[in-house]
């Protein structure tokens, strides 16, 4: 998992330098909790220029994702 946490932001940065990237990730609340997917630590805290992310999850403390995203990433609602 650690290698993915390091690879994902690097991959975004390198590829966004030549063209815009739009990521749409729906239903984060339905990710498996086995590897901490709902903790959303894998979402970069700093999004590179030319990268646009649309993330969706159900609101509420019980889904873990939404409160974490509110703290770690600028969330537009």
Residue-wise pLDDT for 17-48, tens only, equals: 889 999 999 999 998 878 778 888 888 888 88
pTM of the predicted model, to two decimals? 0.74
Question: CA of 14: how far to CAs of 39, 52, 57, in Å?
Answer: 25, 14, 27
Distance CA 50, CA 39 (A): 25
DSSP 61: G
Cross-strand pairs, 51: 21
Q: Give the C-alpha distances (Å, rounded to integers) separating 75 from 20, 28, 46.
A: 20, 14, 12
Say what the pLDDT of residue 2 is: 59
């Amino acid at each position: 998992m650690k290698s993915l946490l390091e690879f994902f932001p690097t991959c975004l940065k390198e590829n966004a330098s030549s063209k815009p990237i739009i990521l749409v990730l729906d239903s984060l609340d339905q990710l498996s909790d086995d590897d901490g997917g709902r903790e959303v630590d894998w979402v970069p805290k700093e999004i590179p220029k030319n990268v646009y992310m649309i993330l969706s999850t159900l609101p509420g403390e019980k889904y873990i994702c939404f409160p974490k995203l509110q703290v770690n990433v600028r969330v537009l609602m």
